[in-house]
Amino acid sequence: MTTPTTAEIIGILGGMGPAATADFYAKLVATTPGSSDQDHLRTVIWSDPTIPDRTAALLGDGPDPTPWLLDGSRVLREAGATVIAIPCNTAHAFVPRIADHVGLPIIHMIGEVARHLTTLSPRIHTAGLLATTGTVRAGLYQEWLDRFGIRLVLPGTVSQNHEVMTAIHAVKAGIRDDRTTALLSRAAQRLTERGAQAVIAGCTEIPLGLPGDAVGVPLIDPALVLAQALVRRARTDGGVEQGR
Amino acid sequence: MTTPTTAEIIGILGGMGPAATADFYAKLVATTPGSSDQDHLRTVIWSDPTIPDRTAALLGDGPDPTPWLLDGSRVLREAGATVIAIPCNTAHAFVPRIADHVGLPIIHMIGEVARHLTTLSPRIHTAGLLATTGTVRAGLYQEWLDRFGIRLVLPGTVSQNHEVMTAIHAVKAGIRDDRTTALLSRAAQRLTERGAQAVIAGCTEIPLGLPGDAVGVPLIDPALVLAQALVRRARTDGGVEQGR
């Protein structure tokens, strides 16, 4: 009988959006070292695309997704998950509302990104953020980067509305064309011109529309950082958990 | 509150291998029509890479994966799945052992491929198969293509062992290079030279190593055919189920 290398079962609370969930799981698999199926981590994924839009909720224009997130977490826990990962930046605004009810550690994607930024060389003093308006308004990256002493630069209102959000909606609709890439590249360039030494692709749709080499500075993919944190944790026991 | 377009919850019994599971879920998402997250299908994925090797079991060299498949099916059913898809060709050899115990319909990937072949134009009389030795020996495609009156051509022993299986193991180990593609292209070409008017990429790892345009005839991706069958079923109610 095969013995798994770890008792950890990764729970992925996904569907926000579904393409980003598929991409995240592919990154988790690609990040896991091993040469056969049996070296990989057991994973359970609850992908509920019917979860109400997180940005709409944060802007007061839609229902609160918290009940859906709690339901999904319950499904994952009952399926045997030992840890939860949420590959959606905006959903992290709701993590404080669910963390005490989930009964499992949540590896905090945004906390992991902040920690990851401190490990880069040369040292990052200023980082830019491309994210949904919901994530920006909720101040998620602001809060975590502050803790690590990193300054955050954000797109202006016009760039946020007409470049970043337009591109995110295009990717969610399955469109990944040159125009989408151009919108995101331009928004990223505006951030580097204002001092960003790294740009955070702070919405799981963004890396799907913006190749890493389209930006002149490191493009940080939070999904990849989260995947690496999960693999590290399964092998040792490390990770920025909500509530620590 | 958002109303899902369907009550169907897709259950994916995966991990065989994990990269193929991620790829299958990406295909399911890409195949689903819709312009926002909320148009997509709720999905639960149990990805257990510790499931013993299916080919080894079929060749009498390893433990029977049936208990793992039953466990995973139970997890999916308890999570609310209304239908099960198994994106692993070889695992379908064990479907008859689990079908009566799962309590949910299993959409049969190989049955769907056989049915799909009958819809192609010009009509396919002969199809080739690239698959694991386990799938070939279990006669899975033979059985289903026979039902639809399609002749099956298989690689010779040397091609099967030194081209097909070598390439499958490479993809499972994360290697997707020119050599892997060359091995699979050559094996496919041997099949077309023997009359195959279409080649079935009958192991979920194969499309990851063999681009569709590397073969001079249609390359059938069973994962894509299965994804399309699930989407069709969620919108109407069709699918080749085990036991029908």
Q: What is the CATH number of the domain that holds B46?
A: 3.40.50.1860
pLDDT value of position A188: 97
* Amino acid letter, A117: L
Mean pLDDT across the stretch B60-88? 96
What is the maximal distance between C-alpha atoms in chain B? 59
Q: How far apart are CA A83 and CA A81, in angstroms?
A: 6
User: Which residue carries 């930024």 as its tokens?
Assistant: A117
Q: Is pLDDT of A219 > 70?
A: yes
Mean pLDDT across the stretch B160-181? 92
Q: Is pLDDT of B1 > 50?
A: no
Q: Is pLDDT of B213 > 80?
A: yes
Q: Please check whether residues B68 and B157 belong to one and the same domain.
A: no
Residue B241 belongs to some domain of the structure: no
Q: Is pLDDT of A33 > 90?
A: no
**Mutation for testing the A interface, residue in B50, B77, B168 having most A CBs under 10 Å:** B50
Q: How far apart are CA B196 and CA B170, in angstroms?
A: 25
CA-based nearest residue in chain B for residue A10: B47
Mean pLDDT across the stretch A35-55? 90
Q: Please check whether residues B85 and B21 belong to one and the same domain.
A: yes
**Mutation for testing the B interface, residue in A1, A8, A37 having most B CBs under 10 Å:** A37
Q: Pairing state of beta strands B42-47 and B126-130?
A: unpaired
Any bridge partners for residue B13, and if so which? B46
pLDDT tens-digit map of A4-24: 457 899 999 999 989 889 999
User: Which residue carries 């193991």 as its tokens?
Assistant: B169
A210 is catalytic: no
**B51 in Cβ contact with B16 (< 8 Å):** yes
Residue B76 belongs to some domain of the structure: yes
* Mean pLDDT (chain B, rounded): 91
Q: Please check whether residues A121 and A214 belong to one and the same domain.
A: yes
Q: Please check whether residues B201 and B129 belong to one and the same domain.
A: yes
- Nearest CA to B73 among B43, B41, B45? B45
Q: Please check whether residues B77 and B124 belong to one and the same domain.
A: no
In A, which residues are within 8 Å of B19 by CB distance?
26, 29-30
Residue A4 belongs to some domain of the structure: no
pLDDT value of position B3: 43
Q: Is pLDDT of B244 > 50?
A: no
Q: How far apart are CA A211 and CA A193, in angstroms?
A: 19
For residue A80, what pLDDT band results from cuts at 50, 70 and 90? very high
Q: Please check whether residues B177 and B96 belong to one and the same domain.
A: no
For residue A208, what pLDDT band results from cuts at 50, 70 and 90? confident
pLDDT value of position A37: 74
Residue A121 belongs to some domain of the structure: yes
The two counts, helices (H) then strands (E), for chain A are: 12, 8
pLDDT value of position B105: 96
Tell me if A75 and B75 make a contact (CB, 8 A cut-off): no
Q: How far apart are CA B190 and CA A89, in angstroms?
A: 48
Q: Please check whether residues A156 and A98 belong to one and the same domain.
A: no
Q: Please check whether residues B100 and B143 belong to one and the same domain.
A: no
Q: Please check whether residues A215 and A228 belong to one and the same domain.
A: no
Q: Please check whether residues A212 and A123 belong to one and the same domain.
A: yes
pLDDT value of position B239: 60
Q: How far apart are CA B196 and CA B126, in angstroms?
A: 5
User: Is this prediction's ipTM beyond 0.90?
Assistant: no
Q: Please check whether residues A162 and A206 belong to one and the same domain.
A: yes
CA-based nearest residue in chain B for residue A3: B50
Would you give the DSSP letter of residue A41? P
Residue B145 belongs to some domain of the structure: yes
Q: Is pLDDT of A144 > 80?
A: yes
Pick the catalytic residue from A85, A86, A88, A152.
A88
Which residues, including other chains, have CB under 8 Å from residue A152's CB and lie 6 or more apart? A126, A127, A128, A129, A141, A142, A145, A146
- CA–chain centroid gap for A157, Å, is 22
* Nearest residue, CB atoms, A50 vs list B4, B25, B173: B4
Residues in chain A: 244
Lowest mean pLDDT among A4-8, B34-38, B100-104, B157-161: A4-8
Residue B98 belongs to some domain of the structure: yes
Q: Name which residue leads in pLDDT, A117 or A244.
A: A117
For residue B243, what pLDDT band results from cuts at 50, 70 and 90? very low
Question: What is the SS3 assignment for A129?
Answer: strand
Q: Is pLDDT of A239 > 70?
A: no
Mean pLDDT across the stretch B48-66? 93
Residue A1 belongs to some domain of the structure: no
For residue B242, what pLDDT band results from cuts at 50, 70 and 90? low
What percentage of chain B reaches a pLDDT higher than 90?
Answer: 79
In B, which residues are within 8 Å of A44 by CB distance?
44-47, 75, 79
Residue A128 structural domain: 110-221
For residue B238, what pLDDT band results from cuts at 50, 70 and 90? low
Residue B2 belongs to some domain of the structure: no
Mean pLDDT across the stretch B135-153? 96
CA-based nearest residue in chain A for residue B41: A49
Chain A contact residues (CB < 8 Å to B): 1-2, 4, 15-19, 21-23, 25-26, 28-30, 32, 35-53, 63, 75, 78-80, 172-174
A88 is catalytic: yes
Question: How many domains does one find in chain B?
Answer: 2
Q: How far apart are CA B196 and CA B74, in angstroms?
A: 39
CA-based nearest residue in chain A for residue B1: A63
For residue B4, what pLDDT band results from cuts at 50, 70 and 90? very low
Residues of B designated catalytic: 88, 203
What percentage of chain B reaches a pLDDT higher than 70?
Answer: 95
Tell me if B2 and A30 make a contact (CB, 8 A cut-off): no
Lowest mean pLDDT among A1-5, B51-55, B227-231: A1-5
Mean pLDDT across the stretch A127-138? 94
Q: How far apart are CA B67 and CA B80, in angstroms?
A: 20
How far does A78 lie from chain B, in Å, by closest CA? 8
Q: Please check whether residues B18 and B87 belong to one and the same domain.
A: yes
Q: Is pLDDT of B15 > 90?
A: yes
pLDDT tens-digit map of B110-121: 999 999 999 999
Q: Name which residue leads in pLDDT, A3 or B218.
A: B218
How far does B195 lie from chain A, in Å, by closest CA? 34
